[in-house]
């Protein structure tokens, strides 16, 4: 690098932490790295993996970031998100089952993040309020608020901005005829914290994606009486137990009675809106703002990472796509970003970059279902990993295809299956308790050997 | 006025609407008035009085403004908030009982607001993102976001800024040992929407102010099994029915068991944090920001309205004090603000203004209880009303003193009492149903004659 650069990273979850991790790797190799400041509005690292009991608005008056709940177990095999340079066996000193609960995954993440001295780069309890790109000086002005001191900081200048603040935090809240007079509880999955409180209740789950699927299972597992899942376009289509029933979207609510399109009705205690999340970056000035729905390749991003629409190739986004791959994909994006910023990696010209992302977006539009999706994201991942000289093969398409089949066979037992690590070759042990019977989500119980 | 001025009003609740109302009054009198733009992030007027079923984050990704619930009835006599130039009898064409439910109060407000052509001044679904005061030009730059279009507007310049966005919207969320492992529901009173959903449940109400008092009553009224109210400094001290019990602040929570300071424990289903609200104006630059707790006279405001700490007497706040008086007090503040901006009212020098608010703050610190508080706020109201040439006597101290006594006699029946209007002289009729028996909060039922 010609001169000392300054990089701002927004968010200290898996995506942002991968950026810090790869900068630190270069540093330990004796390379010159930029000055890094990472802002996170939470009081500790982890992003969504940091559980908090808070809902709605947090202790600092800010929107709660987390959408995490007690009892969340990985909904994909851990072998599909394992870091090649830090395996689960490295962390736990033994092989562990394929579908761990949140605390076990979070502990693993923290293990990798703790390999380097990354914490000093992070300003916790600092929310980014406002980012503008300065055309004349080709840099960013960032205003952050110190939430602990209740004080806006003066603007700081940065050469690069990396947005890694996630897109599963700001709930999408549709309305429905009669919902304003519904006498029961209405909530978004974002505010779901534990399933115990729905024991013996009848629940309407609105939606048909991962949140709907998992909250139907969660509430069933902890004793809900009946769960109606209602879909707009197509049902999830799993072989549900008798307590879970899929219905086409309801037409109205009268009192506590939900009227479904097929003419049937149900009286429900609770409505859980599993209606997804918004891409919401109110802190970015308009022209820097990625606007998208949750898709496999949001337009405007070269390698799904570099913003090509403004800001002179100084703005990057990590983890903004819909995800089969998670930690490993964020890691490859992060390494790509780090290589680019440190000058290891050269960009093609603007036209080529735009043509490239448009090619991916065009292909995305032709995808015909989950197996196509998996292959698409695998191809993207391998492409960016190669460009970033990632050095490991991150392809776990086969595991994802098998996982989808397991889910089709039984949504209740797919988490009881076992996979082999691509990096250690070890086949995971079967957990001592099946998912539907495992009510204790603690790390201690999960790691305990069968009694 | 020497030249056309521009005034920005933030918030279209009772405070902001009173500002618009008084500007409109001048206009109808043929006076020259400034250009007025009022931003409100909600889709309609009303502020807290606009009920929404949403909680936490709203349909636009913004923090939900409302803290309103179904079943809320006025907790003070309507005769203490009646507009002298638009009485309840003017609106309803008959006398109505003293403690109306929300819809009846809101309809009354809308009646007064509809007397003038005020709506064209309001930009609904526009959230103010950023306000800076420009020293060189002695004006404000205001950036608002059009939530419907999902677009930040270019900065607009204004000569005066009136902040009327309320201070009962952003919940104060304390933490407690063990709360993160509590298996039941945890919520702040801000997210309370109806009491039906707490039927047969055992509730811990944390707090001892109006929210705690009213949610204890509400949940009891709609069938909660038992309500423990827990206080930090002193109990509410009402003669509660047996289902409501006051306890000194709990020391910890273990599972669903709450341990109180007196050594007793209780298993609860729900924790409702009635722990108040934050003064939170993230959109204002630091030096413009009123920082206060909920007190009868926040420091820094001449006549509790004009910000004396910066911005050259161009920044005003309405309704930022703790409140016995509400609509009428906001109205007097609004008229004062309007008279000041249009040049009718002259300010004393800076030193005199600071001395004046310091005198009020000093007196506030000596207040010894609710009857002192009432006299204090009455004196403030009469002072600002006089300064504003308000033209009516707004003193209802006597009614407030009687109201406090009624509450001490019975927290269950105080709302069944009746008061006389100061402006029409009419004594309100007794409602056909007592408060504790009135489960239907609709305007239609409230206004119906006894069957």
Per-residue DSSP letters for A120-146?
GGEETTEEEEEEEEETTTTEEEEEEEE
The tokens of A315 are what? 């703005």
Residues 6+ apart with CB under 8 A from B91: B107, B108, B111, B112
pLDDT at B76: 98
CB contact under 8 A, B53 and A180: yes
Tell me which chain A residues have a C-beta less than 8 angstroms from the C-beta of B291.
150
CB pairs under 8 A between A and B: 99
Task: Name which of A284, A58, A165 is nearest B280 in CA terms.
Answer: A58
The closest CB to that of B56, out of A57, A269, A285, belongs to A57
Q: What are residue A186's DSSP bridge partners?
A: A271
Tell me which chain A residues have a C-beta less than 8 angstroms from the C-beta of B253.
none
CB contact under 8 A, B57 and A171: yes
pLDDT at B1: 44
Report the pLDDT averaged over residues B317-323: 98
B-interface mutation test, from A56, A64, A168, A206, most B Cβ less than 10 A away: A56
Nearest chain B residue (CA) to A180: B53
Tell me which chain B residues have a C-beta less than 8 angstroms from the C-beta of A56.
55-57, 63-64, 171, 188, 190-191
- Rounded CA separation B130/B144 (Å): 7
Average pLDDT, chain B: 97
Task: Name which of B79, B69, B65 is nearest B101 in CA terms.
Answer: B69
Residues 6+ apart with CB under 8 A from B373: B296, B324, B367
pLDDT digits (tens, 9 = 90+) for B372-403: 999 999 999 999 999 999 999 999 999 999 99
The closest CB to that of A59, out of B175, B184, B269, belongs to B175
pLDDT at A52 over 90: yes
- Rounded CA separation B182/B188 (Å): 15
CB contact under 8 A, A61 and B282: yes
Instruction: Write the DSSP assignment of B125-181 as a string of letters.
Output: TEEEEEEEEETTTTEEEEEEEETTTTEEPPPEEESEEEE---SSSEE-----TTGGG
Nearest chain B residue (CA) to A53: B180
pLDDT at B33 over 60: yes
Tell me which chain B residues have a C-beta less than 8 angstroms from the C-beta of A197.
183-185, 269
| Alpha-carbon distances, residue B25 vs A300, B231, B338, B357 (angstroms) | 51, 46, 10, 29
pLDDT at A121: 98
Tell me which chain B residues have a C-beta less than 8 angstroms from the C-beta of A191.
55-56
Q: Where does the pLDDT of residue B2 fall: very low under 50, low under 70, confident under 90, or very high at 90 and above?
A: very low
Asked if the interface predicted TM-score (ipTM) of this complex is over 0.90, the answer is yes
pLDDT digits (tens, 9 = 90+) for A189-227: 999 999 999 999 999 999 999 999 999 999 999 999 999
Tell me which chain B residues have a C-beta less than 8 angstroms from the C-beta of A64.
56
pLDDT at B451: 47
CB contact under 8 A, A57 and B190: yes
Provide the shortest C-alpha distance from residue A24 to chain B (in Å): 33
pLDDT digits (tens, 9 = 90+) for B260-298: 999 999 999 999 999 999 999 999 999 999 999 999 999
CB contact under 8 A, A184 and B196: yes
Q: Where does the pLDDT of residue B449 fall: very low under 50, low under 70, confident under 90, or very high at 90 and above?
A: confident
Tell me which chain B residues have a C-beta less than 8 angstroms from the C-beta of A170.
57, 61
> Do A381 and A332 contact (CB within 8 A), yes or no?
yes
pLDDT at A451: 47
pLDDT at B88 over 70: yes
pLDDT at B3: 60
Q: Where does the pLDDT of residue B450 fall: very low under 50, low under 70, confident under 90, or very high at 90 and above?
A: low
């Amino acid at each position: 690098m010609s001169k000392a650069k300054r990089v701002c990273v927004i968010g200290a979850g898996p995506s942002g932490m991968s950026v810090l991790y790869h900068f630190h790797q270069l540093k330990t190799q004796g390379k010159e790295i930029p000055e890094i400041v990472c802002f996170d509005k939470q009081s500790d690292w982890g992003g969504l993996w940091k559980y908090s009991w808070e809902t709605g608005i947090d202790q600092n008056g800010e929107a709660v970031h987390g959408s995490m709940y007690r009892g969340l177990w990985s909904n994909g095999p851990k072998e599909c998100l394992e870091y090649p340079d830090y395996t689960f066996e490295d962390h736990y000193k033994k092989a562990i089952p394929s579908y761990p609960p949140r605390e076990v995954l979070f502990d693993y993440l923290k293990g990798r993040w703790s390999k380097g001295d990354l914490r000093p780069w992070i300003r916790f309890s600092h929310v980014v309020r406002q980012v503008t790109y300065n055309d004349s000086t080709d840099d960013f002005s960032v205003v952050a608020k110190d939430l602990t001191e209740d004080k806006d900081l003066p603007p700081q200048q940065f050469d690069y901005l990396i947005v890694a603040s996630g897109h599963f935090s700001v709930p999408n809240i549709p309305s429905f005829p009669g919902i304003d007079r519904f006498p029961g509880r209405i909530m978004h999955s974002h505010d779901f914290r534990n399933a115990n409180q729905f024991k013996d209740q009848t629940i309407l789950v609105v939606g048909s994606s991962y949140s709907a699927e998992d909250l139907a299972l969660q509430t069933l597992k902890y004793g809900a009486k009946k769960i109606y899942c209602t879909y707009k376009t197509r049902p999830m289509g799993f072989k549900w137990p008798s307590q879970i029933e899929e219905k086409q979207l309801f037409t109205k609510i009268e009192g506590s009675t939900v009227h479904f399109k097929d003419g049937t009705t149900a009286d429900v205690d609770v409505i859980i809106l599993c209606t997804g999340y918004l891409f919401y970056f109110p802190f970015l000035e308009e022209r820097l703002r990625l606007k998208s729905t949750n898709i496999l390749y949001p337009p405007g991003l070269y390698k799904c990472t570099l913003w090509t629409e403004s800001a002179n190739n100084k703005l990057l986004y990590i983890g903004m796509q819909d995800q089969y791959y998670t930690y490993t994909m964020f890691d490859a994006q992060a390494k790509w970003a780090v290589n680019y910023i440190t000058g290891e990696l050269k960009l093609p010209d603007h036209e080529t970059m735009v043509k490239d992302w448009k090619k991916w977006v065009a292909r995305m539009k032709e995808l015909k279902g989950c197996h196509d999706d998996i292959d698409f994201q695998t191809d993207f991942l391998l492409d960016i990993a190669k460009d970033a000289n990632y050095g490991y093969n991150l392809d776990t398409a086969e595991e994802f295809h098998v996982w989808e089949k397991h889910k089709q066979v039984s949504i209740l037992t797919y988490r009881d299956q076992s996979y082999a690590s691509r990096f250690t070759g070890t086949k995971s042990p079967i957990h001592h308790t099946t998912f539907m019977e495992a009510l204790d989500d603690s790390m201690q119980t999960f790691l305990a050997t069968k009694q």
